[in-house]
Structure 1
Amino acid sequence: MTTSPIPKARNLSIDNIKAVLIFLVVFGHLIEIYVGEDHVLRSVWVFVYSFHMPMFALMSGMFSKAQWDDKNATQLISTVLVPLIGFEIIYEATEFFLKGNLSVYAGLVAPYWMLWYLLSLLCWRLLLPLFSRMQFGVMLAVALSLAGSYSEHAGYFLGVSRTLIFFPYFLLGWKLGANVFSVKKNERLVLSAVIVVAALIGSFMLKNDFDYRWLYGSYSLHRLEMANLTGSMYQLLQYAASTVIGLSVLYLLAQKELGLANIGKRSIYVLVWHGMALIILQETGVLRAIFKHENTIALTVSALVSLAITWVCAHEKTELLTKRFILNPLSWLLIPQAAPISAAIATEQDKPVQQEP
């Protein structure tokens, strides 16, 4: 007589962290158009962008497998490629409906807005079996990132620049594993809090002429006018700062049950749908109305609106409708065995993702 294996319980702490990170993605995208108009908005935005996408890449790596087989390939198609293709069509169709032409991203042969993350994730997952067998895989990924930044062609094209820039974080997450935050020590807690507070204060102390394009990961050193050794050193400093700040934030978030696990496990739906919510708010003039107020009110309202968008996009009804009308039909077209995407996504640690993330 055989017994069925007991399903592995989801890591609620990780789901809580993912919920906070995906909220920050929504919040960052909502305020970013207006960050040049106010020092407070700009400082908050710089603080968020200093760690939130690096840590999303890191957490995606935590739950990625270095083995390559039919099951993993099918899962990669259903959980990454299918949403990428489906929502690329949806967003480009929306652009055409609103403006009469395709988006600027289509002209650059790049994924639409936040969808760059899915294309980069696809590339990272494909590269992982190779880099996982290297002794110094993370260091090589950093070296490739530094070298690629010198290319004048590095940028939005197929998301190449971001794929290279954020790949070291993905690899680091794979090496650290999902239990990296399980060890709880008071001294580590205090140090993490000090680092986060210092980073927040430092964001407010930055001068207004700070070139925040560094935080996007989509600009070559030539476009940043630093295609020299100084530019490479700046990149290395940014890697170090983002890693230290990001891991400190995640460690603090992992200390308590935040009650956000349901949002975290559906973060993929927030990633792919929040852009539509922001397009609606922008087209209807709601965003302009929010940022006509002074910064305290604007920040508060922005946070509340971001919370609402995150909650709606992560709702189980949104998940159900997205699977039924978009993901399942497209999955059926792409996967011969008709493996249902609903089952694949249910067992996957959802990964996430301006006009720039």
Structure 2
Amino acid sequence: MLAEPSPAPPLPPTAGAGRGGRAREAFFDNAKLLALVLVVCGHFWEPLARQPGHRAVHAAYLLVYAFHMPVFVFVSGWFSRSFTARPGQVDRLIGGVLAPYLLWTTLLGGFTVWLDGRPFRLDLLTPAWVTWFLLSLFLWRLSAPLWRQLRAPVTVAVAIALLAGALPLTPQLSIGRTLQFLPFFVAGLTLDRDRVLALRGHRALRIAAVPLFALAAVAAYWAVPRLDAAWLYRSTSAAGLHSGYLHWAALSLALGIAGAVLGTAFLALMPARHAWFTTLGAAGPSAFLVHPFLQLILVHRGAYDGAFLASPAGQLALTAGAAALTLLLSTPPVTRLLRPLLAPRLGLLLRR
């Protein structure tokens, strides 16, 4: 997935094109939704993964975190290919990404401290949990025209990601994740379109993907007592992980390659045609932004301390519930209901 690209032509306008006159690929809407399912499942697994005695859940958590955000970021880069910073596009970026970030980081941050019984302090520069992605996406998309001017954009992005480990990274502006996930966004933005779409139904890759994921699952199970999941969050530098820089760079590069390989296998397994869930993949970020509130409620009500979720049946039910929740929150009625919070109207603030 991170092979050096040829210059990527813009997507041609087609009948049935989405916003901005660009056609949506069912293949990538399918990938976006299924990656989102993994994101939500991972978040609901996290409290169990942090407890001793749940090695299988912890291994599943590490496996999913090895590639789910790389895929999500790569797909976000793909859907940013038409962005050229035209005034209308910048307006949509502000209204559809930056404004929701400001709103949801306030809502989620306030909800978290309310559950904890702590006083609320507004800090819009520090994302609240999942809202880091909106801020990073805003910065990545603004930079899209720059990456198209470079001869070797992915190589440059990888170099920046590795240099980030030497910086004194802080939570502000989600700078750690913005820099370290950057190669996946740039890859989605600039890799040759035909080569990427060739992943759809690629027979050899589909055959190889199953044993590859089986091997990765075994490796994740082995890594449970040996690898801190913080390495997969890509949010901090070598100093933040109490590591020497060379060790940090080598392990970060290895994890990045693993994410690219597993992400490629994941995409190869995606259905290429329009499926019953494809339209859910084209929905807004409602599932991504709403599910943390429900997870936090479960945590604060002690659900993860009970016997049910400690059992295999309970963990399967939790996984099925998380997947169903993702689908429910991506349905048109829910996205329409939440539209004022997902894409607020800013006509009084923006020039038209």
Q: Which TM-score band (shorter chain)? A: 0.7 to 0.9
1:101 maps onto 2:119 in alignment = yes
* Native 8 Å contact 1:116 1:159 kept in 2: yes
Give, as a single letter, the amino acid of the residue that structure 2 aligns with 1:70: P
Residue of structure 2 in register with 1:69 after alignment: 86
Identify which of 2, 10, 29 aligns with 2:43.
29
How many angstroms does 1:27 deviate by?
0.6
Deviation at 1:118, TM superposition (A): 0.4
CA distance in structure 2 between the partners assigned to 1:35 and 1:204 by the alignment? 12
Aligned length: 329
Is the aligned partner of 1:210 residue 2:221? no
The aligned counterpart of 1:224 is 241
CA distance in 1, matches of 2:229, 2:170: 15
* Worse-superposed segment, 59-68 or 258-267: 258-267
Instruction: List aligned pairs for 1:128-277, cutoff 5 A.
Output: 128-151=144-167, 153-176=168-191, 180-182=196-198, 183-254=200-271, 258-277=275-294
Q: Are residues 139 and 315 of structure 1, via their aligned partners in 2, closer, same or farther at CA, if it must alter by over 3 Å?
A: same
User: For the Cα contact (< 8 Å) 1:110–1:159, is it kept in 2?
Assistant: yes
TM-score by length of 2: 0.85
- CA, structure 1 residues 60+40, in 2 after alignment: closer, same or farther (shift >3 Å)? same
Contact in 2 for aligned 1:181/1:251 (Cα 8 Å): no
Q: Quick one: distance in 1 between partners of 2:175 and 2:245?
A: 20
Tell me the CA shift for residue 307 of structure 1: 2.0
Deviates more, 1:176-185 or 1:236-245: 176-185
CA shift for structure 1 position 117 = 0.3
Between 218-227 and 87-96, the greater mean CA deviation after superposition: 87-96
Match of 1:343 in 2: none
Native 8 Å contact 2:153 2:190 kept in 1? no
Question: 1:173 Cα deviation (Å)?
Answer: 0.8
Which range moved further: 115-124 or 229-238?
229-238
Q: Measure the CA separation in 2 of the matches of 1:304 and 1:334.
A: 42
Point out where structure 2 has 5 or more consecutive residues left out of the alignment: 1-12, 18-22
Hey, what's the Cα distance between the residues in 2 that align with 1:269 and 1:234? 34
Structure 1 unmatched runs, 5+: 338-357
Once the two structures are aligned, what percentage of the paired residues are identical?
26
> What do you get for the CA RMSD once the two structures are aligned?
2.4
Q: For the Cα contact (< 8 Å) 2:77–2:187, is it kept in 1?
A: yes
The answer as to 2:34 corresponding to 1:20 is: yes
Is this contact kept in 2: 1:82–1:330, CA < 8 A?
no
Aligned-pair CA distance for 1:335: 2.9
Q: 2:272, 2:307 → 1: CA distance?
A: 34
1:176-209 Cα shifts (integer Å, max 9, x gaps):
3665234533222212233222212211222513
Contact persistence 2:48–2:304 (CA under 8 A): no
Instruction: Tell me the TM-score normalized by structure 1.
Output: 0.84
Q: CA deviation at 1:282?
A: 2.3
State how far apart, in whole Å, the 1-side matches of 2:126 and 2:348 are.
23
Contact 2:105 2:124 in 1 (8 A): no
CA distance in 2: counterparts of 1:300 and 1:178, whole angstroms: 38
Question: Which amino acid is 2:139 matched to?
Answer: C
Pairing 1:116–2:132 present: yes
CA contact under 8 A between 1:19 and 1:267: conserved in structure 2?
no
State whether residues 63 and 177 of structure 1, in contact with CA within 8 Å, keep that contact through their aligned partners in structure 2: no
Distance 1:70 1:256, change over 3 A: closer
The CA deviation string for residues 211-265 of structure 1, in whole angstroms up to 9 with x for no partner, is 2211000121112222232221111111111101111111112356652213211
